[in-house]
Structure 1
Amino acid sequence: MLNTVPFVLTAALLAPTTPAAADPIRTVARETVAAGATGVQIRAVRDGHSRTVTAGVSELDTRKPVSPTGRFRIGSTTKSFVATVVLQLVAEHRLGLDAPVERYLPGLLPRGSEITVRMLLQHTSGLYNYLRTISLEDADLEKIRYQHHSPESLVAIAAARPLDFPPGSKFSYSNTNYVVLGMLIERTTGHAWGDEAAKRILRPLGMRETVIPGDRTRIPGRHAHGYQEMNGKLVDVTELNPSVAGASGEMISTTADLDKFAHALAAGRLVPPALLTQMTTPRSATEEYGLGVQTRTTPCGIPVFGHTGGIPGYGTIAFTSADGKRRVEASLTLGRGPGDDAFYSLIDKVICA
């Protein structure tokens, strides 16, 4: 049973020892494993003090603990990196936030003269989500998990279908938007989006453990295994060609590296203040998505922004308060859960602890 796997705690030197009964971070980690995660690592930062808590195991049928410094696939948290690069290009006047995609990538999209860069960033383009055709569930994943997918082939799936709604009229999350943004970065700079992200974000911030893998199927270095239920059995899906996600979700990182990114973004070190405000402001009061980041007001009244991520075997959280004083990064290696609600509950409990 997954809820009987051993629990392991690792705390950074900055964090004092806390009795289990009074330790909400440890409690959240235990609850996450009890809800079906194989393993979890949670990094919590408050006023400059950080600690990392781990629970569960890094590999089923073993007692190997989850490493507090292990790498993992971050899935859609990749989108915040792509959005940051795009907004830097906007700040450099190399891209127009409200310019049509047709100006930069002529002929690529249906109604490309009406879809703007901003709409791609905020998921209001209406573009069909190609992952509705390429399934990453059950046996379908086994068929494609080692295949190469080019950005052009992924966008072509969406371009062959009608828009879900008129551009700019509503919000609907579509991975196609960020594959197009990756192509837009390459067309504008002459370099692959991952190379630009490395030059502009990873190297300046010292994010040495973060990888943009391309077609490489393995997670380098120490890492926990990810699982997916198929036909009633848990299958190890750690190895995967992440080109099926591309600029919408292929990156690999650590909680420490994600914290460097979240801290720098909140501090205004990556995006100019006016653009950061736009990045972290949803289009309307009923939406919780800005430009490449999700927004949320926690139960204790602290507003946060960041991104969750999901890719077979792995779930990711990376959120910061607006002032950067409270941050949470977490990796969940998935088994038979937990569901999406648990991700947001984890954010709330850690930020409000």
Structure 2
Amino acid sequence: MNVRTATAAALIIAALAGASPAIAAPLRTAHSCEAARPLDTTALQVAIAGLLSADVTAALVRATGPDGCWESTAGTVDRRTGAAVPQEARFRIGSVTKVFTAVVVLQLVAEHRIELDGAVQRYLPGLLAQGYPTVTVRQLLNHTSGLPSPVISDESVEYQVAHRFDSWTPQQYVDAAFKQEREFDPGTKQQYRNIGYIIAGMLIEKVTGNSYEHEVRDRVIRPLRLTGTSVPGDDPGLCGPHVHGYQVMSDGTLRDVTRWNQSFGWAASAIISTTRDLDVFTEALLGGRLLAPEVQRELFIVPAVPDVSGKAASYSVALQRFKLPGVGEVWGKSGSRYGYLAGIGGTVDGTRRLAYGMTANDARNGDNPTPITQRIVLAGMTLSARA
């Protein structure tokens, strides 16, 4: 499965086998971690030890528990230089972008500019073919729309790398998708896809009259002072300190794929961030400082439908639900782009949180996490103070 359509949130599952809104209270998360008591970080230290391997080049982790937080890095920012990874290094967060997009849509819902159960056909007339079943905004966000994904003529890694600087518009993405038949009737099943969030980005632009990038910056990035977070648009680069991503080719060689135009994934997977910024974002999200109470609850409502494999649905309008031994219910999102893996997670009250970024040499398939990722998630979410 190509990274463009892969269920990136499976990384965590495998580990468990308008005006800018006001921020209601000052953020508690500092730029650097400070623990009230010495923390037992042994498991996390072991998880990222000996990181350099055939599969993983770098990892950045920030874990927060009731007694404080811990952050660290391992590996190298660049295989050529061997330079150490700074904690503030930036990386592509892939489908964690969807959470940012969902927040903007939910803010517009709270402002009565969008209705969650309003029809896409009402807001974006002509986007769906005449006679197409009604698709609601909620269905876009919780992956129950049944809308198809585009099929690329050549899914080989060589083709993808060769075309990494191609620029896509959201309309081109939608047009390519609608050459396919719909997956199922809207609202009857759940299937993780990017298409819903591409259209959600188009909806944001239509309702606000501003670009998607403008709205994310003004509603999320600037209010939370996410100084290492950006929405790149067509810019293929990563500004400031960042880790290089690599992709293994069919002949076994590695290619540096750090520079890559992310317009294909756009509102579904294009954002760049840091572990500190992702932690601040997660704390604000779970703490109710980004969303009004009437839409905050939507983060934790999973539709009562099966997914396409017959299992119970697990996605809400922004997050995915998991059960973690020793912690209980956890909500999070993971993502992957060529060269990069990332994730956020936390308990409903936000007292336990995790943010991580990694450079994996074959991150195309989010359903195929590395053992190191699994150890980091489990160890990070159970961080505690030493007795």
Matches within 5 A, 1:206-245: 206-231=225-250, 232-245=252-265
Matches within 5 A, 1:180-219: 180-219=199-238
The equivalent of 2:377 in structure 1 is 347
The residue matched to 1:303 in structure 2 has which SS?
strand
Q: 5+ unaligned residues in a row in structure 1: which ranges? A: 1-10
Q: Which amino acid aligns with 1:57?
A: T
User: Which digits, 9 at most, give the CA deviation of each residue in 1:18-38, with x for residues without a partner?
Assistant: 78xx61111122376558211
Which residue of the other structure, out of 280, 295, 299, is the alignment partner of 1:275?
295
Alignment of 1:90 with 2:109, yes or no, is: yes
User: Which digits, 9 at most, give the CA deviation of each residue in 1:211-246, with x for residues without a partner?
Assistant: 111111110011110011112111110000111110
Q: CA deviation at 1:273?
A: 2.4
Q: Which amino acid aligns with 2:293?
A: P
Alignment of 1:176 with 2:195, yes or no, is: yes
Which residue of the other structure, out of 131, 146, 149, is the alignment partner of 1:129?
149
The equivalent of 1:3 in structure 2 is none
The equivalent of 2:97 in structure 1 is 78
CA distance in 1, matches of 2:374, 2:153: 27
The equivalent of 2:164 in structure 1 is 145
The equivalent of 1:4 in structure 2 is none
CA distance in 1, matches of 2:67, 2:293: 22
Q: CA deviation at 1:47?
A: 2.3
Q: Would the aligned equivalents of 2:133 and 2:186 in 1 still touch at CA under 8 Å? A: no
The equivalent of 1:115 in structure 2 is 135
The residue matched to 1:145 in structure 2 has which SS?
coil
Q: Would the aligned equivalents of 1:213 and 1:251 in 2 still touch at CA under 8 Å? A: yes
CA distance in 2, matches of 1:257, 1:238: 20
Q: 5+ unaligned residues in a row in structure 2: which ranges? A: 1-30, 306-311
Greater RCO, 1 or 2 (C-alpha within 8 Å, sep 6+): 2
The equivalent of 2:342 in structure 1 is 316
How many positions carry a matched residue from both structures?
340
Q: Which amino acid aligns with 2:109?
A: V
Q: Which amino acid aligns with 2:236?
A: T
User: Which digits, 9 at most, give the CA deviation of each residue in 1:69-102, with x for residues without a partner?
Assistant: 1011111000000000001111111111011100
The residue matched to 2:114 in structure 1 has which SS?
coil
CA RMSD of aligned residues (A): 2.3
Alignment of 1:257 with 2:257, yes or no, is: no
Which residue of the other structure, out of 332, 335, 339, is the alignment partner of 2:358?
332
Output the TM-score relative to the length of structure 2: 0.82
Q: Would the aligned equivalents of 2:149 and 2:178 in 1 still touch at CA under 8 Å? A: no
The equivalent of 2:179 in structure 1 is 160
Moved over 6 A (4+): 16-19
Q: Would the aligned equivalents of 2:54 and 2:361 in 1 still touch at CA under 8 Å? A: no
Q: Would the aligned equivalents of 2:65 and 2:382 in 1 still touch at CA under 8 Å? A: no
CA distance in 1, matches of 2:274, 2:112: 32
Q: Which moved more, 1:42-51 or 1:205-214?
A: 42-51
Q: Which moved more, 1:215-224 or 1:270-279?
A: 270-279
Which residue of the other structure, out of 292, 295, 298, is the alignment partner of 2:318?
292
Q: CA deviation at 1:63?
A: 2.5
Q: CA deviation at 1:112?
A: 5.0
Q: CA deviation at 1:347?
A: 2.1
Q: CA deviation at 1:62?
A: 3.5
Of Structure 1 and Structure 2, the greater helix share is in 1
The residue matched to 1:340 in structure 2 has which SS?
coil
Output the TM-score relative to the length of structure 1: 0.90
User: Which digits, 9 at most, give the CA deviation of each residue in 1:9-67, with x for residues without a partner?
Assistant: xx956257778xx6111112237655821110111111262221211211124431112
CA distance in 2, matches of 1:250, 1:103: 27
CA distance in 1, matches of 2:321, 2:50: 24
Q: Would the aligned equivalents of 1:44 and 1:350 in 2 still touch at CA under 8 Å? A: yes
The equivalent of 1:8 in structure 2 is none
Q: Which amino acid aligns with 1:174?
A: R
Q: CA deviation at 1:140?
A: 1.5
The residue matched to 1:204 in structure 2 has which SS?
coil
Q: CA deviation at 1:124?
A: 0.7
CA distance in 1, matches of 2:57, 2:156: 18
Alignment of 1:247 with 2:276, yes or no, is: no
Q: CA deviation at 1:136?
A: 6.4
